[in-house]
Structure 1
Amino acid sequence: MITMVRELRQAPELLTNLTRREVKGKYKRTVLGQLWSLVNPLAQMLIFTAVFSFVLRVPIPTGNPSGLHNFAVFLLCGLLPWGFFVNVLNGGMGSLVGNENLIKKVAFPRAALPLSNAFSLVFSWSIEMVVLLVALTLLGAASLLWTPAVVVVMALLFLFAFGVSLMLSVANVYFRDTQHFVGILTQAWFYATPIVYPTSLVLEQSDKLGPLLGSWTLYDFYRLNPMERFVELFRAPLYDNAWPPLDSVLYCVAWSLVSVVVGVWVFSRHEKKLAEVL
């Protein structure tokens, strides 16, 4: 891990240029350009709000102590971090295969490719989060005061997502089926995460079912999902204007550290073989 960090620190210009290329190339030759980074989550918000708020009528909690009760912003507080996570995974997973010619011809730290993808997504994600903060403030929430806490949570999610993307980028070099498998996995993972519904609904069903394995309930298994905790960490300061539970903070810190350490270890072991395998 130390070697990879040192190599990346010695190539700041490369990382900057790759990140700039990702940012400019993502919406190249489009009319709206970077505005698409706002249009996509807003379109998802409108669709999910129509389905889950008006058709299925999923109940949401009132923010405590913010007093907010708005399905659209409740949804965005979970949808934006989830979108960032999935985009980092998908972009990082294809970063090595998509730059096959560059890897075979030029010697440079290969980790710069998935890292530049993640950095480029931070740029658009930051714009989305600023818009969300402004919207929450206009609705009467004191979310701007919680900006430092939100930035810390964003950093933790970045580390977690980047670590997973390193592992997937290597896996996709050896097994091109990885991208298809991950696509199915993230679809299931989305609905296993409280984005379009509150965790209270899972708790209600868990209480009805009772213990499933020993003393473990459905809710206990559900809370093992790291993205469930990350969404909680975002909703607490943004929607509730409150500190997130300490156990969830420690859980996300642990997942972020483990993800980065394991991701760097896996990537480092295969980095020298990438040109041959590709």
Structure 2
Amino acid sequence: MASTTRSTRLGRAHTPLLLALAWKNVRLRYKSSMLGFVWTLLNPLIFLGIFLLIFSNAFPQVPNYAVFALTGLVFWSFFATVSGHVLGALVENASILKSLAVPPLAFPLGQLLAGLFNLLLSFVPLAAILVWFGWRPAPQHLLIVPATALFALFVFGIGLCLCALNVFFRDIGLLWNALLPAFFYLTPIAYPPDLVPERLRWIAELNPLYHFIALVRSILVEGAMPTTGEWGTVVFLATVAMAVGLLVHRWLRKGYVANY
């Protein structure tokens, strides 16, 4: 029994397994697709085209609306896609988890790594649009690395919590899919944050995505150095999300096998 317990705890020895799962997830997403990875480049550009067609004239106060919108779209897409795939990671691999002593956490982490790979590919069209509109690399732009890492931790924490609950309550996935469009419109992706009336701004700021999107735009679009308060907010959100996700996972883990 002790050896089984050790073998189902994730450790450094499972790195090859994580990489294999991540690559499998990437390949499965584009299986039978003629364009394959190209879709990762095309998806944000297609949505950007729609945004430009509908919203660009509605928000003339936003300089370089294409850059503004695409930055939000790339990170929103990462949030929606990764949280959804992490949510279903345990249920979709139930047969493997029942028959092999594999750490359950490996499957959600494999989905996160696959999502980060796709996010890196999405940076290609984002960088092209930025350069087209006169963006030039500067030292402060390197801050996008810790900002992305914190966002990934936040997304994984949310996804892991949903993933654990989904093993016991299968309606979680349906509920999350219903809530995502609401989160999209409540987050200033297609519209500037200033559009929210001042008296209601505090409600918008209750949305964690509001702060992460604002941070990456501050770094990439405005080329500004985020304040200590802005960093403190996203560090707090990422830490809380990860802590809650891991606690829920550990609390419910003993009942996974009986409920897959």
Contact 1:133 1:238 in 2 (8 A): no
- Counterpart of 2:220? 238
Shift, 1:90, TM fit: 0.3
- Counterpart of 1:214? none
Number of residue pairs aligned between Structure 1 and Structure 2: 255
**Distance across 1 between alignment mates of 2:127 and 2:50:** 21
- Counterpart of 1:59? 60
1:125 to 119, 122, 128: 119
- Counterpart of 2:3? none
2:148 to 150, 154, 161: 154
**Distance across 2 between alignment mates of 1:27 and 1:220:** 40
Change (3 A) 1:164 1:20: same
1:21 to 24, 27, 30: 24
- Counterpart of 1:114? 108
Shift, 1:155, TM fit: 0.2
Change (3 A) 1:198 1:176: same
Runs ≥4 in structure 1, deviation > 4 angstroms? 3-6
- Segments of 5+ residues of structure 2 without an aligned counterpart are 1-5
Shift, 1:6, TM fit: 6.6
Change (3 A) 1:105 1:4: closer
For residue 224 of structure 2, give the secondary structure of its aligned residue in structure 1.
Answer: coil
**Distance across 2 between alignment mates of 1:42 and 1:112:** 32
| Matches for 1:119-268 after TM superposition, within 5 Å | 119-143=113-137, 145-202=139-196, 205-206=197-198, 217-268=199-250
**Distance across 1 between alignment mates of 2:136 and 2:154:** 28
Contact 1:173 1:277 in 2 (8 A): yes
Contact 2:8 2:103 in 1 (8 A): no
Q: Aligned partner of 1:20: which letter?
A: W
Identical aligned residues as a percent: 34
Q: Aligned partner of 2:229: which letter?
A: D
- Segments of 5+ residues of structure 1 without an aligned counterpart are 62-68, 207-216
TM-score, structure 2 normalization? 0.92
Contact 1:232 1:244 in 2 (8 A): no
Change (3 A) 1:37 1:60: farther
- Counterpart of 1:209? none
- Counterpart of 1:34? 37
